[in-house]
């Protein structure tokens, strides 16, 4: 029997993301449902390579809802991917087995390289890439994946253990962050990313494309300020550098409570946004990027495309049509 409806579950460090899609014979795949759950499984233990009991419970709560939605949509199959916080945790396999036993879903613990491949696949289907190399950045809670690629191939990729939850628990910044603390994070990132900057220079990369939550939040905050959506497809958004630099200063000067009240701010990102912004700013500044974009597609969309290409249309690479 040909499988036509699928749920994709991305077990991220801060959020679990659910995507439900289907493909009727001869039609383009359609996304039927998207939702995310603030599980924060890295909180309180990520730098000790442990998932806490509280995180176990938050994950179960999320999967209760995920299972319910998958049943409502009469999903034929589910695929799930566990990323940095789980693959690096000493009890990560125990965590995965608990979810598999309780919810009957098979979960693949993927490497940083595999994560980067899926992010590239998702971004490539959101953006109209050409022959010019671009840098693709996915900011996670446990790891950050960076890929240098064009529309045809990946030139360079690496997964860094520099996720925002890791950095937040390592540096423990003040509220608001102090100038010296910002400089400390910047110096650390410059050292850790030295091989990336060499690769960017080697491939003459001028454009940075950001996928996942932090870039989605930047987009939503800018749109909430009244900035136009710049006429691009829903799956992508150009972030003008002057707008990013202005917003970056706003984040640096803000308290946690002030960020909670920002229109467009994702509640999951309130604690993380300052460090995430420092990471993006450091990358833009050191690499000398002239263009910055947000991609609405990331790992889960990449997994969706890969699944349909292998199982439904092995010889085709169709665009996903978003069901509005």
- For 19-36, the pLDDT digits (tens) are 999 977 666 678 999 999
Gap between the Cα atoms of 168 and 274, Å rounded: 9
What does DSSP say about strands 77-82 and 144-149: parallel, antiparallel, or unpaired? unpaired
Taking CA atoms, 256 is separated from 53, 146, 263, in Å, by 26, 28, 14
For residue 298, give every residue at least 6 positions away whose Cβ sits within 8 Å of its Cβ, in sequence order, or none. Answer: 10, 119, 122, 123, 138, 211, 212
The pLDDT of residue 318 is 43
Q: Is the pLDDT of residue 321 over 70?
A: no
Taking residue 174's Cβ as centre, other Cβ atoms within 10 Å add up to 10
Same fold? 5-112+299-322, 126-295? yes
Would strands 16-22 and 30-37 be described as parallel, antiparallel, or unpaired?
A: antiparallel
Q: What is the mean pLDDT of residues 236-259?
A: 97
Q: Could you tell me the residue ranges of all domains in the chain?
A: 5-112+299-322, 126-295
Question: Contact, 272 vs 168, CB < 8 A?
Answer: yes
Q: Which of the residue ranges 27-41, 109-123, 245-259, 304-318 would you say has the lowest mean pLDDT? A: 304-318
The secondary element (H helix, E strand) that includes residue 123 is helix 112-126
Q: Where are the beta strands (DSSP E) in 38-149?
A: 77-82, 107-109, 134-139, 144-149
pLDDT on residue 24: 73
Of all residues in the chain, what percent carry a pLDDT higher than 90?
A: 84
Query: pLDDT value at position 23?
Result: 77
Q: For 5-112+299-322, which CATH class?
A: alpha beta
Q: Percent of the chain at pLDDT above 70?
A: 94
* Residues 198-217, mean pLDDT to the nearest whole number: 95
Domain 126-295 in this protein, CATH class: alpha beta
Nearest-angstrom CA–CA distance, 285 and 189: 12
Query: Average pLDDT of 146-167?
Result: 96
The pair phi, psi for residue 112, each rounded to 5°, is -60, -35
């Amino acid at each position: 029997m040909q499988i036509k409806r699928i749920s994709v579950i991305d077990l991220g460090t801060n959020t679990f993301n659910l995507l439900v899609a289907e493909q009727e014979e001869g039609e383009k795949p359609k996304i039927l449902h998207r939702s995310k759950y603030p599980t924060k499984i890295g909180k309180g233990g990520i730098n000790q390579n442990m998932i806490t009991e509280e995180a176990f419970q938050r994950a179960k709560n999320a999967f209760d809802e995920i299972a319910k939605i998958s049943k409502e949509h009469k999903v034929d199959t589910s695929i799930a991917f566990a990323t940095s916080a789980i693959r690096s945790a000493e009890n990560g396999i125990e965590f995965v087995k608990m979810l598999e036993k309780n919810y009957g879903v098979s979960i693949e613990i993927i490497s940083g390289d595999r994560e980067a491949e899926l992010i590239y696949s998702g971004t490539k289907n959101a953006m109209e890439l050409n022959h010019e190399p671009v840098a693709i950045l996915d900011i996670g809670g446990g790891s950050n994946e960076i890929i240098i690629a064009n529309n045809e191939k990946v030139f360079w990729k690496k997964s860094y253990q520099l996720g925002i939850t890791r950095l937040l628990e390592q540096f423990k910044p003040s509220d608001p962050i102090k100038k010296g603390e910002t400089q400390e994070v910047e110096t650390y990132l410059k050292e850790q990313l030295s091989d990336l900057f060499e690769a960017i220079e080697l491939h003459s990369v001028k454009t940075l494309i950001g996928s996942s939550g932090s870039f989605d939040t930047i987009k939503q905050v800018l749109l909430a300020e009244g900035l136009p959506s710049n006429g691009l497809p829903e799956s992508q958004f150009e972030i003008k550098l002057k707008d990013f630099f202005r917003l970056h200063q706003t984040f640096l000067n803000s308290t946690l409570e002030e960020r909670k009240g920002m229109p467009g701010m994702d509640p999951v990102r309130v604690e993380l946004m300052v460090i995430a912004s420092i990471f993006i700013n450091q990358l833009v500044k050191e690499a000398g990027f002239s263009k910055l974009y947000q991609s609405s597609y990331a790992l889960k969309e990449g997994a969706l495309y890969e699944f349909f290409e292998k199982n439904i249309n092995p010889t085709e690479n169709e665009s996903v049509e978003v069901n509005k």
